[in-house]
Amino acid sequence: MLDSAAMKRIAMIAALTGLCACAGVPKEGRIGVLVMAHGGEPEWNQLAEESLEPLRAAFPTELALGMARADTLQKAVSLLERRGVRRIAVVRLFLSGDSFLIRTEKILGTAPGAGPRPAHWDMSGHDMSRMMERGPDAMPLWRVESRSRFVLTREGLLDGPIGGRILVKRARELSADPSVESVLLLGHGVGDDAADAAWRESMMPAVEALRRALPFHTVQAATMRDDWPEKRALARREIRLFVNRERDAGRKVLAIPYRLSGFGPQADMLKDLELVMDGRGLLPDPAVGEWMLEQARAAMDSAGWRP
């Protein structure tokens, strides 16, 4: 049987343990970060994972791959919540801040439009692969089950100056003599002609950054239109004409992906062209991780959260 002194010591230890737990986790829950990225081949996914190091050093952080997929977002949210997170800053690692924004808001419940998760939802098998091939609009739209509050970032990597700076760095690494070189920036593009023209227009700040940085003969923006076979054939013809024209004029063409990494699933269309390239886009680069950390902190500030 314990004496009164022992009982007091046990009570004091219990009280101190409770105080420590409360000090480590605020009443409103820990703050965490959920990073959304497109996803791709294993190498692409690994580069995205590695870019999260600055975030992981500062906050509980999870990565949700896919074009705003409810299932991968649910998994990331659940993993964060198991670590005591109840306030989640969602960093959207996309080139444009508009990418999947409205769909993401619905899935996270910050905007109306998504119902509860289907009772018999199955995220495995061939059906999922077929839906992913058709794009985000073909994917099931449902609201994540969560006890957390969310705040979303609004800026894309190429909406500010950081993307242009990284692309200039890529050009410097490939260049030997800018006076006899031209640059071809290659983006994904879309099937609709008017939307694809708008995509190219959005590439112009990066084009101008390259023109200002180095005295290249020409800096050209083009899209590969990966997912639309007929449009892709036209894109390939346009790219080939540009490369051959520059070659005939005695100039080399530096090809740089206007993407997070690589030239995408249709990289083979460039295989037999005379290009100087290494396939590196915005990743890997430490500036991307620093940008994500800045974005996360700015989102937390906007929500009034103090880490």
Residue ranges in the chain whose pLDDT is less than 50: 1-2, 6-23, 125-126, 128-129, 131-132, 134
Residues 60 and 34 in one domain: yes
Q: Is residue 2 part of a domain?
A: no
Q: Is residue 279 part of a domain?
A: no
Task: Please count the other Cβ atoms lying within 10 Å of the Cβ belonging to residue 294.
Answer: 16
Residues 144 and 165 in one domain: no
Which residues are within 8 A (CB) of 171 and not within 5 positions of it... i.e. 6 or more apart? 183, 210, 213, 214, 216, 254, 256
> What is the pLDDT at residue 29?
87
**Domain of 111, in residue numbers:** 10-157+286-303
Q: Is residue 280 part of a domain?
A: no
Residues 51 and 93 in one domain: yes
Number of domains present in the structure of the chain: 2
Q: What is the pTM of this model?
A: 0.84
Residues 31 and 145 in one domain: yes
pLDDT tens for each residue of 66-88: 989 999 999 999 999 999 999 99
**φ/ψ bin of 58: left (φ > 0), alpha (ψ from -120 to 50), beta (otherwise):** alpha
CATH number assigned to the domain comprising residue 42:
3.40.50.1400
Residues 138 and 177 in one domain: no
